[in-house]
Structure 1
Amino acid sequence: MTSRTRKLIGALIMVPFVVIYALIAMVLAQYTAMKLESQVLRFLIFAVLGLGWALPMMPLIKWMEKRDA
């Protein structure tokens, strides 16, 4: 499989995943972080939710960046 094909497949998987993840993160933030009094905990929740999409996507990104044989 060529690098170009892997990047196309990866993009077709990544875009819907990030959209769905963003919607779920917004719901979680609304019902958890906004009810907290502590600004530090609120910041931590937003930071984890904001960066949380990267961990499940790392194997896909590594596969997309693999060099052609």
Structure 2
Amino acid sequence: MPVRLKKFIGSILLVALVVIYALVATAVATARLAESSWVVHLAYFFFTGLLWVLPAMWIIKWMASAPKPRG
């Protein structure tokens, strides 16, 4: 796959990941943490704010990998 195409697809995937992840994390927080204290909210959003980095790192690693040589 050409490098430019991988970077284009990866960019779209990263934007989609961030938007969908933010919506899901917020929906879970409003459904499960409505009556919780501010400390629980802080811990939840700190944890979920860092958790999206794992799939993003995988996408970026895939984008940066060299194309396989044609045999």
* TM-score class, shorter: 0.7 to 0.9
Query: Could you list the per-position Cα deviations for residues 6-26 of structure 1 after superposition, in whole angstroms to 9, with x for gaps in the alignment?
Result: 110111222222211111111
RMSD: 2.0
Structure 2 residue runs without a partner (length 5+):
none
1:28 aligns with 28
Query: Could you list the per-position Cα deviations for residues 12-53 of structure 1 after superposition, in whole angstroms to 9, with x for gaps in the alignment?
Result: 22222221111111111222334212x332211011122222
2:50 aligns with 51
Q: TM-score, structure 2 length as denominator? A: 0.72
Q: TM-score, structure 1 length as denominator? A: 0.73
Report how many aligned residue pairs link the two structures: 68
Secondary structure of the residue aligned to 1:36 is coil
Structure 1 residue runs without a partner (length 5+):
none
